[in-house]
Amino acid sequence: MTQKSFTILENKVTLYNRGGGLVWHARIKLKTGEWWRFSTKQTDFEEAKEVALKEYYTTDYKHKNNLPQNTRKFKSIANYSIKRMEDELAHGAGKTVFKDYIRVINDYLIPFFGKYDIASINMELLYKYSVWRDEKIKGNRKAAKPGDRYVAAVTQSTLNTHNSALNRVFDEALLRGWITNSIRPTLLNKGKKSESRGAFTDEEYKVLYTKLRTWWKTAHTQESREQR
């Protein structure tokens, strides 16, 4: 069966039905150059045309106000981001830390944010995620008293990894036009400082400075001895 297609606005809006079906579908060209396809859910041509034009002018308004013209669920964008990092790793262009980002995305970000539209993620949701993540990492839930400030239980290093992984997903969404810089949230960045090792004891220090006096002599080459 043949497909019927009608241009509503030249190179902007098209109505068509699939294989002679009764329901009309629409194609709208976004400012990114991508064609957005959706069902008007209408069988009447004029009603379908009205739906398509309404969507077109809505997307045009969003673009003029620095809003994404259409959006996607976090999970699908996260998977695009993972695929990009895996491809870079496979071709030797990726960073080793990408493996940590992929783990964080799969174990933390998708389970929490997966069902949300990427454009709907705001500071309130990020705060809820920080609490959820803390409970998941620590494995115990601490009852918070009314008015208490939330104190991050994860180290700054762990928090930086989570933020970098989340930024990879936001970067992917920005690249594909599913969010704009104007609505991209600023990530929370307050973690617990990593505990540093204590100073050397007197005994340890004595061993170090004693051994170092002759350590340079054990090198196999003149260059190594000079470096030591």
Average pLDDT for 221-228: 76
At 134, which amino acid appears?
A: D
How much is the pTM? Answer: 0.56
CA distances to 3, 6, 25, 46, 47 from 19, in Å: 5, 14, 11, 19, 20
With a pLDDT cut of 90, the percent of the chain lying above it is 32
Inter-helix orientation angle 74-90/156-175, to 10°: 100
- Tell which wins on pLDDT, 33 or 86: 86
Mean pLDDT of the chain: 81
Report yes or no: 153 and 134 within 8 Å, Cβ to Cβ.
yes
| pLDDT tens per residue, range 110-167 | 999 999 988 889 999 999 999 999 888 887 445 444 444 444 457 888 899 999 999 9
What's the pLDDT score for residue 75?
Answer: 93
pLDDT tens-digit series, residues 57-92: 877 876 776 655 566 889 989 999 999 999 999 998
Question: In the predicted model, what is the mean pLDDT of residues 189-207?
Answer: 61
Q: What's the one-letter identity of residue 29?
A: K
Both tokens of 53, joined, read 């034009």
What would the two tokens of residue 29 be?
A: 């060209």
CA distances (Å), 164 to each of 102, 179, 189, in order? 11, 17, 11
